[in-house]
Amino acid sequence: MAALMVAAGALGACQGGAGTGAGLAPGAPAGAAAGTAVAEAPVARGPFVAAANPLAVEAGVAVLRRGGTAVDAAVAIQAVLGLVEPQSSGLGGGAFMMLYDADTREVTAYDGRETAPASATAELFYEDGRPLSVPDAVLSGRSTGAPGVVAMLGMAQKEHGVLPWASLFTDAEQLAEDGFTVSPRLAGMIAVNRGQARSRWANAYFTRADGTRYGAGDTLRNPAYAQTLRTLAAGGAEAFYRGPIAAGIAETVAEQPRPGALTEADIAAYRPIERGALCRPFRIYVVCVPPPPSSGVAVLQLLAMAEATPAIDAGPDSAEAWTAFAQLQRLMYADRDRYVGDPAFVGVPVQGLLDDTYVAERAALAPGLTGAAEAGNPPGGVFRAGDATNEVAGTSHFVVVDDQGNAVSMTTTVESIFGSGRMTGGFFLNNQLTDFSFRATDDQGRPAANAVAAGKRPRSSMSPVIVLDARGRLVGAIGSPGGPSILAYNAKALIGSLIWGMETQAAFDLPNLVARGTGVGADTDRFSPALRDGLNAHGITLRPNASENSGLHGGFWKQGPTGWGWDGGADDRREGVARTQ
């Protein structure tokens, strides 16, 4: 009974409890089997930083060295990422943050998702009575929502920071003023001959005086970004939402082609939301994610179905395990696409999607799937229109743990590569509103959960993860970019680490397999010939992944040869690092 009571306490701290917690065991290291007797683990503490660019990691570590908290470091990391990795995130975008408080053992979700302007209608992306193409919509001013990441970080830092806000932008400002070295990944994005990389704003930023584009190893300066950071440092997060920065955003959105209607009033009205985290038991752990409009509930549903699927336990070399993983994904995506949206506008059956009986019924369908799955009917769910969202990708993830044991797991984005391609103040504007369904209803007139509406937040696949033990103590923190594939990437990493007992880096480096609808995308070259043949024999034909690839970052608190410490990982598909000092 003690273990059950402990599990309930951990779930209560996350403000999202359900389930019995059976099989949980306090103090277990990641990878331990359920019921295994283990030595008491010390409390997890930092410093630990994992992010997609070494310059951002160094900025976070520097803040921790000065005695800053995980949230303090998150502000500095985001400021640098927006400069050196602008294709993925920035001040003009949004984010979801999971925060673990070591003193209270509470997990809080911060929602910094963008909002549609007050003038938005369900036909925001219609022209001449028909939906726009995705490229046309992305490049339009209509695609930009009121940015949320700065307000979200400001809220969290006021509540959980200890260093002066103004001191958190020093590294980013210096890099912007003096210049930073263009990385190979950024250079590859700059070289793209279409879309946002060739907007007039991007051309002005990425083209030298001699007409050539910046390449890997070149030094790129951004004095406008440095000035924006000075304004933020002096005026606080509020300075982003009123005054010259907000005016610049509204003016840029209103430019051709296809001007948008986001106003200074819309920007000033933006508010981040502090939400209770959504937590559920998984094996001997408790996994916590943000609630809707994040799709974290889908990750929890997939993990719950995996627990009911013995084939998953066969391990990373088993075609049966990978086949089961693909089939469970199809069920998960069908439900996510049908039901998840902004809870302020639509009822999302979170409890029904995670209901034990419903999960078991869904998992039982997996072995018989030969193609796309149909959405189910979870308790409390209202059957809605089939999804017509075309979610594109351009995102980043980072994790910070400070020396007190507080942790941040944060997924941050401008949506597509370089967002909408529009710039002001040295940063790109998001195209997050294209994460809405372009069609508000289906042919039967049923409404889509993710239809556009004034003030609404688009559904997001971003689902940063915090993992606890049964006593509510920090065990791990991970997350990934990848557009809709984020859900598959996070689940793969959690299954690899917590079921298959792999080291974090090895779990991150596992092949990616994404099965949504009739499509199957994969890192085909990372699957062995035997696994490819085995999957094909089960009807899973691997094709190259058409979505943004993974960028998993984070780690797990584990006992190693020299004692307990962070087993960190940085996805080798990106340019990041994981550091413990």
Concatenated DSSP letters of 512-526: PEEEETTEEEE-GGG
Query: Does 395 qualify as catalytic in the annotation?
Result: yes
CB distance 111 to 96 below 8 Å: yes
167 exposure class (CB count in 10 Å sphere: 0-12, 13-18, 19+): middle
Section 438-464 average pLDDT: 91
Strand residue runs (E) in 414-524: 423-424, 427-428, 465-468, 474-479, 513-516, 519-522
pTM for this entry: 0.93
Name the phi and psi angles at 409, rounded to 5.
-120, 115
Q: Please give the C-alpha separations between residue 22 and each of 1, 34, 111, in angstroms, as whole numbers.
A: 10, 10, 30
Of all residues in the chain, the percent with pLDDT exceeding 90 is 84
Strand residue runs (E) in 260-406: 273-276, 278-282, 285-289, 395-401
Of all residues in the chain, the percent with pLDDT exceeding 70 is 91
Instruction: Give, as one character, the DSSP assignment of residue 110.
Output: E
Mean pLDDT over each residue of the chain, to the nearest integer = 91
Strand residue runs (E) in 266-361: 273-276, 278-282, 285-289
Q: For position 11, what pLDDT does the model report?
A: 56
pLDDT digits (tens, 9 = 90+) for 244-277: 999 999 999 999 999 999 999 999 999 999 999 9
Please state whether 538 falls in left (phi above 0), alpha (psi between -120 and 50) or beta: alpha
Q: How sure is the predictor about 392, in pLDDT bands with cuts at 50, 70 and 90?
A: low
- Distance from the Cα of residue 6 to its chain's centroid: 29
Structure tokens at 497: 């680490």
- Go through the chain and tell me how many residues it has: 581
Q: For position 381, what pLDDT does the model report?
A: 80
CB distance 207 to 427 below 8 Å: no
Separation of alpha carbons 406 and 135, rounded Å:
41
Active-site hit among 108, 144, 323, 395: 395
| pLDDT of residue 27 exceeding 50 | no
Q: For position 35, what pLDDT does the model report?
A: 39
Biggest CA-to-CA distance, the chain: 73
Choose the weakest-confidence range: 7-11, 126-130, 426-430: 7-11
Instruction: Give, as one character, the DSSP assignment of residue 492.
Output: H
Q: For position 449, what pLDDT does the model report?
A: 87
Q: How many CB atoms lie within 10 A of CB 317?
A: 12
Positive or negative, the Cα torsion across 288, 46, 166, 201? negative
Q: How sure is the predictor about 104, in pLDDT bands with cuts at 50, 70 and 90?
A: very high
Structure tokens at 159: 């509540």
Q: For position 26, what pLDDT does the model report?
A: 34
| pLDDT of residue 5 exceeding 80 | no
Separation of alpha carbons 99 and 161, rounded Å:
12
pLDDT digits (tens, 9 = 90+) for 286-298: 999 999 999 999 9
pLDDT digits (tens, 9 = 90+) for 353-363: 999 999 999 99
pLDDT digits (tens, 9 = 90+) for 50-62: 999 999 999 999 9
Separation of alpha carbons 134 and 151, rounded Å:
28
Section 34-48 average pLDDT: 73
From the list 88, 441, 563, the residue with the least C-alpha distance to 77 is 88
Section 307-327 average pLDDT: 97
Query: Between 13 and 227, where is the model more confident?
Result: 227
| pLDDT of residue 169 exceeding 50 | yes
